[in-house]
A and B are shown apart, each in its own frame.
Chain A
Amino acid sequence: MRVVLAEDLFLLRDGLVRMLEAYGFEIVAAVESGPELDAALARSRPDVAVVDVRLPPTHTDEGLQCALRARRARPGLPVLVLSQHVEQLYARELLADGSGGVGYLLKDRVFDADQFVDAVRRVAAGGTAMDPQVIQQLLSRRAGDGRPLDGLTPREREVLELMAQGRSNAAIAGQLVVTERAIAKHTSNIFAKLGLEVSDDDNRRVLAVLAHLDRDR
C-alpha cells in the first residue's frame, strides 16, 4: 500500500516511516511542508495520505487545508489527519463531503501501533477512523442534553462509541470480547432507538451516527 506522509517534526516523521514500513506499507513520499505535500499528492497518487494538521510554512492548519484541497481535486482520496489536539470543528470539515475515506486521530494514537495501522488501513479502504476524543465529546454533549441517547444501555453506548470511531462489527466484537452476533444485535437496537437506517457499509454507518449526533444544533 502506497503512502504519502507529511509531518514537520523530523523525529516523528522518521518514527512513522519506520513503523509503517515495518507493517509493510510503501512510503512513496515523506515531506515536511504544505507545498511539498501538495506536490507529492498530485504527483504520486497514493492509496492513503497521512498528514499532520499543522505544517510549515504557515504553521497553522496547512496540513488540513492541503488534505481538503486534495480531496476536492480527487474525491474520495483517503486521508488520515493526525493532530496534537482534536477538534470537532476539523472533524466536521473532513467528514463534510460525505465521501468517506477520512480519519482524524490524535498523534498519541501511534503509541498503539496495531490499532493505528488498523486505522490507516480502514481509511485507505474508504472507511473512517475518528478519534475517540471527538466521539466522546459528541456523545457527552448529547447525553448532557438528555435527549436521544437516554434510551441506550451502557453496553449499547459503548458499542455506539466504537461504531462512531469507524470500527466494523467484527472489530468491535474483538475489542469487547463478545461474539459478532451479539454486536450485530446491539447495533440494530441502537439504530432502532436512534431512528437510523440500517446499512451494511461501515463508512455510511459512521456518517449516519455522526449526522444523528450532530442534529439540531
Chain B
Amino acid sequence: MNTDTKSDVVRDRIREVVLAAVRGLVLALVMLPLSILCLVLSLVSIAFVPLGLGILTTPAVLDGVRRFADVRRRLSQEWCGMPIRSSYRPVPEDASPWTRTVVLLSDPATWRDLRWLAVDMTAGYVTALLPAVLLFYPFEGFAVAAGLWRVLADGHTYWYGFVPVTDQPSALGAAATAVVLLLAAYRLTPRLLTAHFRLTRALLGGGREELTERVRVLTETRRDAVDTSAAELRRIERDLHDGAQARLVAMGMDLGTIEMLLDKDPAQARRLLSQARRNSVEALEELRDLVRGIHPPVLAERGLGDAVRALALRLPVPTEVTVELSGRADAPVESAAYFAVSEVLTNAVKHSGADRIWADLLHADGMLRVTVTDNGRGGATVAAGTGLAGIERRLGTFDGVLAVSSPAGGPTLVTMEIPCALS
C-alpha cells in the first residue's frame, strides 16, 4: 500500500517532468521564430511611422504582438497555473489608422511587450529550452555508451558534454554523466519551466500600469456614485419638503382652525376635519412612494427575487420572472441590481412596444446575472445620455457591466452582470 502510493508519486513526477520538457521544447522551437518575427516587424513598422507607411502597418503588427503575448499569457495559466494579467488600453473599434497608431504607441503596455519580445528570444529561449535539454540529452549519453561512440568518435574525440569519448570506458563515463543529468532533470525540469513563466510574468504582467488603470476606473466610478447619491438626496429632500412636510403643515393649520370653529361653526369644522384627514392620507401616500424610491419594502423584506416579482406584478405588460438565487446579496448590490432591473423593465414597457417581457435572475460563478428580454421592436442603444448609460454607470460602482443586444425589429436583450457573493 505504502509502496503503491510511493510509485504513484514517482509516476506522477515522471509525467510532470516529461510534460515540462516537451512544453519547454515547444516554447523554444515554436515561439523563438515568432518572437523574432514580432520584434523585427514591430521595430521596422514603428521606424516607418514618420514616413507614413508605418501608420498603416503598425496597428496590425502591434495587434499581432498583443495576440502573441496573449497566447503566452494563456499558456502560463494553463501550463503553470500562473495567471498573467494583460492591461492594454482599449483601442476604439472604428478609429482611423492614425488614432489607432497613436493610442497603441502611447500605451506603456506596447513598450512592455517589445521589451518582453527581446528578452523572450534570449533569456526566455534558454529557460524554455533547458528543461528539454536536461531530459533528452542524457538519452544521447546512453546511446553513446551502448555503442554509438564507435560511429561518432571514429578516429577522433567525440565530446559528450564535457566528457571526451574515445573508447568504451570513456563512453561509460558519458553514461554516468547522463545519469547525473537525468537525475537533475527529474528534480529541476518543472521548476525550470516555472522559471521561464516567472520571467515572462515579470516582463509581461501589468504591474504598476494595471494598478494605475484600476485606480483611475475606481476614482471615476466613485465620483459617479457620489454624484448619483448626492442627486438622490436632493430629490428626497425636495420631495419631502414639497410633499409630505407641506401637507403636515397644512394639516396642523386646519386642526388649529377646527379648534377655533368647533363651537362657532360645527359644519365648517367638520368639512375642515375631513380635509385634514385627506391631507394625512396623501402625506402617507407620498411618504410611501418616497420609501419605494429609496429602498422598496419588498426588497428589504424578501430580497431581490421577490422584489422583482412584485415589480413585475405592477407592470402593465405581462412579465415572466425566473429566479435562481440561493441567498441574498449585500444590501447595496441588491439595491443597485433592483433599480437597474426596474429601469430596464420600465424602458421596455415605455419604448419597446412589447406585449411580453421575460426577466431572469441567476447567480453562478460569483456573478449575479440578470437578463431582461422583450418581444418589442428593438433599436435600444447605450449611447450617452440614455437611461441605459445611467444604469451602466451605476452598475460600474460595483464592477458590474451591462450589455444590450437590440437589433432594429427586435427583440431586445439586456444583460447585466455584477460580481458578488450570496449569503
Contacts and interface: CB of A to CB of B under 8 A. Distances in A.
Interface of A: 53-54, 60-61, 83-85, 87-89, 108, 111, 137, 140-141, 144-145, 216-217
B306 A89 contact: yes
B301 A53 contact: yes
Given A84-B288, A111-B277, A141-B316, A89 B301 contact: no
Contacts of B47: none
B292 interface: yes
A60 B300 contact: yes
B309 A89 contact: yes
A108 B281 contact: yes
Contacts of B280: 111
Contact of A85 (B281, B291, B316): B291
Contact of A61 (B291, B292, B302, B309): B302
B297 A85 contact: yes
B316 A87 contact: no
Which 7 pairs, one residue from A and one from B, show the smallest C-beta to C-beta distance? A144-B316, A60-B301, A61-B301, A88-B313, A89-B310, A85-B297, A87-B310
A216 B300 CA distance: 29
A87 B313 CA distance: 9
Contacts of B297: 54, 83-85, 87
Interface string B81-96: 0000000000000000
Nearest to A137: B314
Contacts of A83: 297
A3 to B, nearest CB: 24
Interface string B278-322: 001100100010011000011011100010011001101010000
12 contacts: A60-B302, A61-B301, A83-B297, A84-B297, A87-B313, A89-B313, A108-B281, A108-B284, A137-B313, A137-B314, A141-B314, A145-B316
Nearest to B285: A108
Nearest to A53: B301
A37 B292 CA distance: 27
Given A83-B297, A88-B310, 19 more contacts: A53-B301, A54-B301, A61-B302, A84-B288, A84-B297, A85-B292, A87-B298, A87-B310, A88-B313, A89-B306, A89-B310, A108-B284, A111-B277, A111-B280, A137-B313, A137-B314, A141-B314, A144-B316, A145-B316
A111 B292 CA distance: 22
A109 to B, nearest CB: 10
Interface in B309-350: 309-310, 313-314, 316, 318
Nearest to A87: B310
A141 B291 CA distance: 23
A145 B280 CA distance: 33
A85 B314 contact: no
Contacts of B298: 87, 89
A117 B359 CA distance: 40
Nearest to B277: A111
Contacts of A54: 297, 301
A8 to B, nearest CB: 14
